Amino acid sequence: MNTLASHPDRIATSLFGQILTSLVAAIFLCVPVLCLAEAATVIRATELKQAPASDAASAGELAANARVDALERQGGWTRVKAAGGAEGWVRMLALRYDGAGAAKQGDSGIAQALNVARTGTSGAQVTTGVRGLDAEQLANAKPNTAELKKLERYTASKNAAAEFAERGHLHAQQVSYP
């Protein structure tokens, strides 16, 4: 009697739940994948290189506005797979992404949900007053001196920062402002 068939609304709910679950799973599973192979366009005619260097051998030519999948970045170069199947490296700054990460659903609460899903923040934490920083919140904000005090507590000394840099094998360089 208490079967799903006699409760079409429950079927709908459970179907919706399943879709939602798959959607959430898709978000978690696909985001890193998307980062690795994102649809992009080259902004001008450019040579495809066999290695990430300007003196590397050619791996073909790409016409302006050619469609590619961007695979990985190394320095100023991005490895791409062209529509015809050719693979090689192009200047990172010659690529513009499609902005298709969120499939252009518009700002329906899905983008918001995506944000929450990606950041791993539970609903409970979101409702503790941190809805984030929009123009209205900035305009109406009251000073929070307790947080300002906290900020001071985290500062690093010049010396501590220099040791930190050394541990990361970071070497200071003389670079003029362009």
Partner 1 sequence: MPQRLTLLACFALATASAQAQFNLRNLDINKLVDTAKNTAKATTEIGEQEEIGIGRDVAARLLGASPLMANDGVQRYVNHVGRWLASQTERPDLPWQFGVLEAPQLNAFATPGGNVFITRGLLERTKNEAELAGVLAHEMAHVLRKHHLKAIQKGAQTALAGEALQQALTNRGGANANREKLISLGSEVFARGLDKGDELEADRLGVAIAARGGYDAYGLPAVLQTLQAMNPQDSGLALMFKTHPAPAERLDALEKLQGLLDAYAAQPQLAERFAASARARR
Query: Which residues are at the interface with partner 1 (CB under 8 A)?
Result: 38, 40, 73, 75-76, 91-93, 95-107, 111-112, 114-116, 118-119, 121, 126, 130, 132-135, 137-139, 141-145, 147-148, 150-152, 154-158, 160-162, 164-165, 168-178
On whether the CB atoms of residues 91 and 77 are closer than 8 A, the answer is: yes
- Main-chain phi, psi angles of 43, to 5 degrees: -80, -10
Provide the minimum distance between the beta carbon of 10 and partner 1 in the complex, in angstroms, as a whole number: 32
Residue whose CB is less far from partner 1, 8 or 120 = 120
Nearest distance in Å: CB 6, partner 1 = 40
What minimum distance in Å lies between the beta carbon of 60 and partner 1? 22
Smaller CB separation from partner 1, 15 or 130: 130
CA 154 to CA 115: how far, in whole Å? Answer: 27
Q: Which CB, 8 or 132, lies closer to partner 1?
A: 132
CA atoms within a 13 Å half-sphere pointing along the CA-CB vector of 57: 3
For partner 1, the closer CB: 9 or 55: 55
Alpha-carbon gap, residue 22 to 71, rounded angstroms: 25
Burial of 174 by CB count in 10 Å (0-12 exposed, 13-18 middle, 19+ buried)?
exposed
Asked if 132 contacts 139 with a C-beta cutoff of 8 angstroms, the reply is no
